[in-house]
Amino acid sequence: MPFPHNVYKTQRIVPIRFERAVIGTPVLDMPDIDDRGWFRPDPAGNNAATNDHGFVVGVSEGQHVYISVEREKIEGTATLFVKSSDETVMTVKQNLGADQLNPGATTLVRIEGVSGGAGAIPKIARVQVHFGTNTGPIIAELSVWVYRNVNVNLVPHNVTIQTAAGGDGVASAANITTVMDTVKAIWKAAAVGINVAAIQNHTVIFATAGVANWQAEINTLLSTSWVPGSINAYFINQILMPGVPGVLGLGISRPNSVAFGTPNPGIILGDTNGGASRAADSHYLANDIAHEMGHFFTLPHVDLIDQTPAHQGREEIWALRMLMHPTNTHFFSDFRNDTGYGVAGDGTGYRGSLITLKDLVDSGNAAHHSTDAEVKTSRTAITSAAGPY
């Protein structure tokens, strides 16, 4: 299997690459892979060198995911086998049930979580790709972090806003069921299950039909059929904040509820900011809600950077892939506009949905990246005595 390759100083050659199994909107059993960096401490926080490195994917105990195996620097006809390093933690087979991979550039494999960590620390096993025979040399590994599922309650509200004068009110036109299915798919990669309650429909009387003004009307909204022990998500037509044009969503987690003086925490999603409606864009709305849920789980923005008119945040694809990037849609004219979550090959400017597993350190192995290990942080918050609500 020789191939020509010019090397300047040092390069890492990867014959096999593991990829997300789909391009486009998140899918429940096809999670994103944390492929940033290579070496790292183990997830228990030990800095000693381990064999756990390279690509990482999260899996729930008792459930399965599909991952794409890409032959990057090896012939499509090479004989390859996949095995689990520890079948008491997880099992792996080709999609059709065999451990020998079919020839070709890309093959789907099915990974089943067998036994996972109950809290923030997973049990770990590795998908190992063997060359030649099922006991041949290992030429690639995918680290599989298995967790027991933890659940979070979410109550969606579709709110019609009328005026005191009467007449037809204006409700959100979003497909809430589709939005919630995508939210579930995003957080499933962290083994966080979203228990979505039945959609509650309400009518409120505000100054302008279809519009909730900051702050008094927002306060009323967050008092409308608010359910304790849950994240309450309110879908409305429009949010209006004086001096802050273009608001499409508000996420007010528990600490911010106190700081802002709102009666309850909650998430508010508007179909429009006065321009074209985004109600039909379920991906956009779901990404917004999943992002705001991250704040409920104590996640900050990527590298603690917030979006301001003078500061557009991290603009490289490393950060744009992440769920916790401060902007939802990107407007670049180059490769950065395609994080893998738009339609295949169209460069749609969606923010990604990656919730980081790795806790990478800098090149001197001296300090961790400021907002890595988001799965660990989220699961710690969800399972804490205070909880996420």
**What digits encode the pLDDT tens for the residues 128-178?**
999 999 999 999 999 999 999 999 999 999 999 999 998 899 999 999 999
Q: Is the pLDDT of residue 10 over 80?
A: no
Range 341-350 average pLDDT: 76
Confidence of residue 42 (pLDDT cuts 50, 70, 90): confident
C-beta atoms surrounding 279 within 10 Å: 20
Range 293-322 average pLDDT: 81
Q: Is the pLDDT of residue 53 over 60?
A: yes
Query: Which residue, 152, 149, 158, 67, is CA-closest to 107?
Result: 67
pLDDT of the residue at 188: 97
pLDDT of the residue at 360: 84
Give the residue, 3 or 240, on which the prediction is more confident: 240
The lowest-confidence range among 51-60, 129-138, 233-242 is: 51-60
Q: What is the pTM of this model?
A: 0.92
Domain end among 286, 304, 321: 286
Tally of CA atoms within 13 A in the half-sphere of 36 that contains its CB = 21
**What digits encode the pLDDT tens for the residues 217-227?**
999 999 999 99
Confidence of residue 43 (pLDDT cuts 50, 70, 90): confident
Task: List beta partners, residue 66.
Answer: 110
Range 359-387 average pLDDT: 84
pLDDT of the residue at 367: 63
CA atoms of 281 and 266, how far apart (whole Å) = 21
Which residue segment(s) compose the domain that 218 sits in?
152-286
Is-contact 83 135, C-beta < 8 A?
no
Burial of 313 (C-beta count, 10 Å sphere; 0-12/13-18/19+): middle
CA atoms of 361 and 367, how far apart (whole Å) = 5
Range 351-372 average pLDDT: 79
Same domain for 143 and 216:
no
Domain-embedded: residue 213 = yes
Tally of CA atoms within 13 A in the half-sphere of 259 that contains its CB = 6
Same domain for 133 and 94:
yes
Give the residue, 82 or 38, on which the prediction is more confident: 82
Mean pLDDT of the chain: 90
Same domain for 194 and 93:
no
Strands 211-213 and 64-71 turn out to be unpaired
pLDDT of the residue at 318: 85
Same domain for 131 and 95:
yes
Domain end among 105, 123, 147: 147
- Provide the H-helix boundaries in 84-240: 176-188, 216-221
CA atoms of 185 and 28, how far apart (whole Å) = 4
Same domain for 226 and 101:
no
**What digits encode the pLDDT tens for the residues 253-286?**
998 998 899 999 999 999 999 889 999 999 999 9
H or E segment at 233? strand 231-240
Same domain for 189 and 101:
no
Is-contact 339 350, C-beta < 8 A?
yes
User: Which residues, including other chains, have CB under 8 Å from residue 255's CB and lie 6 or more apart?
Assistant: none
CA atoms of 299 and 293, how far apart (whole Å) = 9
Domain end among 230, 262, 286: 286
Give the residue, 367 or 130, on which the prediction is more confident: 130
What's the total number of domains in the chain?
Answer: 2
Same domain for 269 and 196:
yes
pLDDT of the residue at 245: 82
pLDDT of the residue at 363: 60
pLDDT of the residue at 230: 98
User: Which residues, including other chains, have CB under 8 Å from residue 20's CB and lie 6 or more apart?
Assistant: 30, 31, 32, 33, 67, 68, 340
Give the residue, 166 or 204, on which the prediction is more confident: 204
Same domain for 127 and 166:
no
Same domain for 117 and 57:
yes
Domain-embedded: residue 335 = no
Same domain for 195 and 246:
yes
CA atoms of 95 and 110, how far apart (whole Å) = 5
Give the residue, 109 or 350, on which the prediction is more confident: 109
Range 240-260 average pLDDT: 90
Domain-embedded: residue 187 = yes
CA atoms of 143 and 53, how far apart (whole Å) = 7
Domain-embedded: residue 4 = no
Burial of 69 (C-beta count, 10 Å sphere; 0-12/13-18/19+): buried
User: Quick one: residue 368, left, alpha or beta (phi over 0 = left, psi -120 to 50 = alpha)?
Assistant: beta
Q: What percentage of the chain reaches a pLDDT higher than 70?
A: 92
